[in-house]
Amino acid sequence: MNDVFSSLNSLIWVLIVILIVVAVVMIARAVLAPRADEPYREPPVVQQPVVQQPAATSGLAPGWYPDQNESNLVRYYDGRVWTSQTQPRN
């Protein structure tokens, strides 16, 4: 008879633990469920402005410079690129 009460007591405790787990799961699902009155909205995408970098220069001012290929010529530098304009060196 004592074994019956012991088994019944263990069974009751197992059922109580199962009920607690079910209650916790149901509460968690209710809390985490999306609300019907609040439509889901994507967060706005914030685009960073594009910063234009100034064109890289060599630091040379525009003007006539000795030609690297022909020692008796000077070549014009326009501040960005070497041009095809050449003239005899003075």
pLDDT digits (tens, 9 = 90+) for 32-90: 887 777 777 888 999 888 888 776 666 889 999 999 989 899 999 998 899 999 999 87
User: Does position 2 have pLDDT exceeding 80, yes or no?
Assistant: no
Measure Cα distances from 29 to 34, 39, 51 in Å: 10, 18, 47
The pLDDT, as a whole number, for residue 12 is 94
To the question of pTM greater than 0.75 for the whole model, the response is: no
Place of tokens 């095809």: 84
Kindly compute the dihedral angle of the four CA atoms of residues 74, 77, 83, 86, in this order, to the nearest 10 degrees.
-20
The domain segmentation of the chain, as residue ranges, is: 1-35, 58-90
**C-alpha span between 86 and 63 (Å, rounded):** 11
So what's the pLDDT on residue 76?
95
pLDDT at 87: 93
When comparing pLDDT for 20 and 8, which is higher? 20
The Cα–Cα gap between 29 and 23 comes to 10
